[in-house]
Structure 1
Amino acid sequence: MNYPFVIGPIVLQDFTSEDELIDRCKEWNLLSNTATKPKTYLYKGYGLTLPCEIVGYVDNMTVVVQFENKQQHCIHPSYLKEMQTASFGQRGATASDTANPVDEVEEEIAELAEVAEVAKEIPKKAVKAKKQVVELPEDKLQMTAIVKEFTTVPNHFSDNDDEVIIYEGVSVEGHDLALDEVWSSHSATLKKLELQVGDRVSFEAKVVAKKLTQHPVKYKINNPAKMKKTTT
């Protein structure tokens, strides 16, 4: 059975890993800050309650969910979050009981028309960008880099911003990866090293494609281990 209300994505941005999916859902307030696994959501509308999972996104304001019949649908993350509440849809229930399903479909299509128009404008750019994504190894890598900057990024689940480090001059042993810059959390462990801008460091870490909020840094190093200062 196909659902007539579905607005499928013209260009779907995939998650590079389950970790990115979890992080993105936290940014969209669709997972708690302590969650370690993705979850199934409920799509409510047109007299239906359908389980669905998030499989990608068009942009930061449009997530893509997939129903059990494999149809994919664009939706605003805040709207999807609202659907998870028990009270969703109760307001105006009397009117909706007699509403024409076709009218409901047309209403949602109108609400998401802007999303569809934006998606139409970016397919070529998005496909080109996707082709240029660096193929990242799954294993931990031996790396060297130079500390470029200490900064902070907003954390919507905390009163304090998250502290991060941006690195430049990145080199990966045994791989020819054009990473340019990477970033990591400025964890308590790293703070013990008392790093300063300009320090060259070596470490082991897994690299994932995750853009730093409000900064043009595309790749993150997860849980850097054995980090030490080096002069070469």
Structure 2
Amino acid sequence: MTYSFVVEPLAVQDFDSEDELIERCKEWNLLSGTATRVKTYLYKRQGLTLTCEIVGYVDNQTVVIQFENKQQHCIHPAYLKEMQTAGFGQRASAAADAKAEDAPETPEETISEEAAPEEQQDQAAPVEDTASGEILSAPENIVSVKNESENQTPEIPQKKAAGSKKKTAVQLPEDKLAVTAVIKEFTTVPNHFSDNDDEVIIYEAVSVEGHDLAIEEVWSSHSATLKKLELSVGDKVSFEAKIVAKKLTQHPVKYKINNPSKMKKIDPDS
């Protein structure tokens, strides 16, 4: 399957290494400042949600993403970041509904809609392949339209408020923390830059000394250092690490421990 909306790059500048890709994504605010690995992204358009990965760039304002069917597409990094938010599709839908309600129907418009269906579709959703200025202004316009429609549908702001409260429920400390947890699972996740999948550990029953954090599970890389401990499922361990908000690919684990140190097994009854 091919996508007709793609804007294929005429020339792609490749990244010299995964480290360069990570640094570029940090500059574009597509990765956090503490990120150590690349990730896949979601591309949303007219009801479609497609997974994609960044494979290059045209210039500092245009990144090149690649879909699973190997088609490449140009997009502004700020707009790609906006697509990662949970409410992106809802805001686009609200904008389309508001425009449909506010626009008076005339014979001239009816003829225009029949003659140019593609233009009608462009009004229903933001166009990511326009000039960079239009891309950057699109999210603000959508939010403005959404605010006007909230008076008619009070359920929308209530749900939005609940979602915002959930996002701010966990305030992660900046420093290293003393943590105890139980090994829940050993698994692997895809690595698009390697022939082998990455080995990871998922921990449960997480407890952070001196902090009451609503974190049930965390994950970390199963590094060569950790392999020396010969950990098993069910082992209770203690360690020091910084906890960051980074979801594990293909798993519902939202937080990662970075550079765990002083890890050791402890008595599960302690």
TM-score normalised by L of structure 1: 0.56
User: Which secondary structure does the structure 2 equivalent of 1:56 belong to?
Assistant: helix
CA distance in 2 between counterparts of 1:202 and 1:149 reads 16
1:19 offset after TM fit, Å?
3.0
Deviations 1:112-135 (A, max 9, x none): 45999xx97x98656533422311
For the 8 Å contact 2:30–2:77, the answer to whether it is kept is no
Match of 1:180 among 216, 227, 231: 216
**Number of aligned residues:** 168
- Residue 132 of structure 1 is matched in structure 2 by 166
The amino acid across from 2:165 in the alignment is K
Greater fraction of residues in helix: 2
| Change over 3 Å in CA distance of 1:61–1:158 after alignment to 2 | farther
TM-score normalised by L of structure 2: 0.49
- Residue 30 of structure 1 is matched in structure 2 by 54
CA distance in 1 between counterparts of 2:242 and 2:205 reads 17
1:57 offset after TM fit, Å?
3.2
- Residue 57 of structure 1 is matched in structure 2 by 82
1:158 offset after TM fit, Å?
1.3
Alignment of structure 1 residues 13-24 onto 2, 5 Å: 17-20=32-35, 23-24=38-39
| Change over 3 Å in CA distance of 1:167–1:51 after alignment to 2 | closer
| Change over 3 Å in CA distance of 1:107–1:187 after alignment to 2 | farther
Match of 1:42 among 62, 65, 73: 62
CA distance in 2 between counterparts of 1:62 and 1:156 reads 27
Q: List alignment gaps of at least 5 residues for structure 1.
A: 1-13, 33-38, 45-49, 64-73, 75-102
Coordinate RMSD, CA, aligned: 4.4
CA distance in 1 between counterparts of 2:159 and 2:34 reads 25
User: Which secondary structure does the structure 1 equivalent of 2:261 belong to?
Assistant: strand
The amino acid across from 1:109 in the alignment is D
Task: State the structure with more CA Rg.
Answer: 2
1:222 offset after TM fit, Å?
0.9
Match of 2:255 among 219, 228, 231: 219
For the 8 Å contact 2:180–2:236, the answer to whether it is kept is yes
Greater fraction of residues in strand: 1
- Residue 196 of structure 2 is matched in structure 1 by 160
Q: Which has the higher contact order (CA 8 A, sep 6+)?
A: 1
Deviations 1:146-187 (A, max 9, x none): 000001111111111111100001000000001001111111
| Change over 3 Å in CA distance of 1:124–1:113 after alignment to 2 | farther
For the 8 Å contact 1:25–1:31, the answer to whether it is kept is no
CA distance in 2 between counterparts of 1:124 and 1:209 reads 25
User: Which secondary structure does the structure 1 equivalent of 2:53 belong to?
Assistant: coil
Flag as ranges the 4+ runs of structure 1 deviating above 4 A.
Answer: 25-28, 50-55, 60-63, 105-108, 110-116, 122-127
